[in-house]
Amino acid sequence: MLKKLFELWPRLSRRAFIEKLTLLTVGTAPVVKACAPDDVVPLQTQDGPNSTVDAGGDMDAGVVDSQVADLGIDSAPIDQGADTLLRDSTVDQGSGDSTLDGIPADQTVDQNSMDTTVDQGPADSTIDQNLVIKDSTVDQPPADISVDQFPVDGTVDQPPADLNVDIHPPDLNVDTTDDTLMADGTVDTMSIDGTVDATGDLPPSDTSVDQGVVDATVDGAVASPATVYKVDNGDCFQNIAKLFQLMGGIGQFIDATDTVIIKGNAQWPYQGYTHTGCIKAVVDEILAIPGFSGEVHICDCTQAYGFPSALAFHMPSWGRSHNWPDKNWNELAADYQAAGKSVSSKRWYPGTLDLTSPLTSTPASDGWVRQYFSFKGLPNEVYLSYPVFESPLTAGRFIDPKNGVWQGGGYTGAKVKTIVMPSLNNHAELHETSGDYAGVTSAIKSFFGATEITGGMSNLVNGRMNIHGATFGQNRADWAGELVAKYINDFFAPVLYVTAAMWSGWESRTDQAAETKTVLACTNPATLDYVACKQVLWPSHPAYTFLDPDLNNNTRNQILGCISGGIGTIDPAKITVVSATI
């Protein structure tokens, strides 16, 4: 019978041939959608059929060519534009020799399958609903390429042993659940149902990106997808250069006319202050923007305790171990100015003028825009503040991080953009090694130096509590995260966060540390802290489980507090880590 059927093949349509073959072998005709071989089905996105999505590059409307003749689905490649990391790749899901081509040797691939051509194979193929590729052989990408897409749950099938990429399908409608611990201790069961079509590239600040599923909530806040970029094993300059290469360049965030604040951590010596070499590398990226005419200011507000004689601005040579030994921040800025570059170091001092936002007249000196409010039933009001300061480079020019540059009696229209550059350390008490005082100190807690902590951690100013006394002073790391989210929402949102983890202080900011030789970047501090702790800080000293953000500890509580204010996510299905090794 089979021989007879194949003899009839030239006279049968392919559909008729398949029906007869199926009747012969299994006794039942397949259910086949009636459509012509040239019919197309528009690619569905959350913006509707045939949508054009700007995702850091140009995404042309994709089509799915449903060819009934061979019962396969051939997905046309989607052009992601110049910013897409994976280009012209082909993944044949039904075959045993799938290939992954066209990857530049120095690129890190965002393997969310955003512009891959996918042949899902014949109707009897087994398709893994958690992974795009199953039981197929895929050419190994270059050694420095790694993409970690956090799994949706703990039961995701693993890809073949020769594939170093954990991925989710590009547009699979998934209805699954994942339990996430909320800031208030409850468990939110997330429903994931939608089309994921975002790129792994961080877009410019004015770009709208359809990031797919955003229905998971943390204490009422909408969780948006996030990409963390990570580079390791190089020196500070190699790591930062590669980091911005992965992100598509500093021009994704900074324009040629912008005034830029680099907000570092200046309070502590050794690994406690932001690595000066990493700051220099970021400044060099900014100055290399064609036609850059703005200013760059390296800033922080320090407090009157700890090591006041060893702040990053004037750090003596003895305090530069586990850091860049060549220069402190003031010396670095002086070198730039001697070369004719508009770079300054600026220490913000608490307790200066009380200013309004927006400004209505030229301030007499530096000052702060302050906000007072009741918080969590505390007996005293709490205050937050952000600095407005005169440029050390241009007399009469005031830098307002929220409203822009003020000069000549008004705002000039020039933008002020902030890049937060924290270190990565255990926020332990000095020489304290026995417990979980406050968890991690990194991107979230860096905002404690973007407001005033006048007179010490728990001192009152006019009867009001500062951020430290109202949070860690109450043994509430989650409240610290909440107030940082309030700061970002009410004052200004930095355009980028770059964690300089060349050394990571697993014991504290000034005690024992590991040379982790890593830098990371993200557009929100909560997801960045989560990945930095999970993949860098905690692995440097696994005995300190309170640095593991997946356990119930102050590291996690601080991050969840920030997420409860709508900043970032730790939903595994929405985090992509794009990494490279030098």
Determine which helix (DSSP H) or strand (DSSP E) holds 231, and give its type and residue range. Answer: strand 226-232
> Token pair for residue 566?
């709508």
- What's residue 288's pLDDT? 98
3-state class (DSSP) for residue 534: helix
Dihedrals phi, psi of 254, to nearest 5 degrees: -120, 135
> Token pair for residue 199?
């790129």
- What's residue 374's pLDDT? 98
| Sequence-ordered list of residues with C-beta below 8 angstroms from that of 563, at least 6 positions apart, any chain | 183, 218, 219, 221, 223, 481, 485, 526, 569, 570
- What's residue 482's pLDDT? 98
Taking a C-beta distance cutoff of 8 angstroms, is the pair 276, 328 a contact? yes
CA distance 295 to 111: 37
CA distance 441 to 424: 6
Closest Cα partner for 525 from 453, 415, 424?
424
CA distance 467 to 486: 11
Q: 380: how many CB neighbours lie within 10 A of its CB? A: 15
> Token pair for residue 336?
């730039």
- What's residue 573's pLDDT? 92
How would you label 557-577 residue by residue, b for 16+ Cβ within 10 Å and e otherwise?
bbbbbbbbbbbbbbbbbbbbb
DSSP class of residue 142 equals P
User: Whole-prediction pTM value?
Assistant: 0.66
| Sequence-ordered list of residues with C-beta below 8 angstroms from that of 430, at least 6 positions apart, any chain | 306, 508, 510
* Per-position DSSP letters for 26-66, written without gaps between them: HSS--------TT-EEEPEETTEET--EESSSEEPPPEEEE
Closest Cα partner for 280 from 291, 293, 296?
296
- What's residue 435's pLDDT? 64
CA distance 582 to 243: 11
> Token pair for residue 569?
């996510």
CA distance 548 to 535: 9
Give the CA dihedral 465, 420, 573, 41, nearest 10 degrees: 130
Residues of the chain where predicted confidence (pLDDT) is lower than 70: 1-224, 305-306, 429-435
* Rg for the chain, CA atoms, rounded: 27
In the predicted model, what is the mean pLDDT of the chain? 72
- What's residue 434's pLDDT? 52
Closest Cα partner for 426 from 490, 366, 513?
513
**In sequence order, what E strands does 246-402 have?**
259-264, 296-301, 343-348, 353-355, 367-373, 382-390, 398-400
3-state helix, strand, coil in the chain (%, to 5): 20, 25, 55
- What's residue 144's pLDDT? 52
Taking a C-beta distance cutoff of 8 angstroms, is the pair 482, 559 a contact? no
**Strand pairing class (404-407; 410-411):** antiparallel
pLDDT in tens, 169-197: 223 232 333 333 333 333 333 322 222 23
pLDDT in tens, 443-501: 999 999 999 998 777 788 889 999 999 999 999 999 999 999 999 999 999 999 999 99
Taking a C-beta distance cutoff of 8 angstroms, is the pair 196, 170 a contact? yes
| Sequence-ordered list of residues with C-beta below 8 angstroms from that of 299, at least 6 positions apart, any chain | 261, 262, 263, 264, 345, 346, 347, 348, 387, 389
Dihedrals phi, psi of 188, to nearest 5 degrees: -100, 125
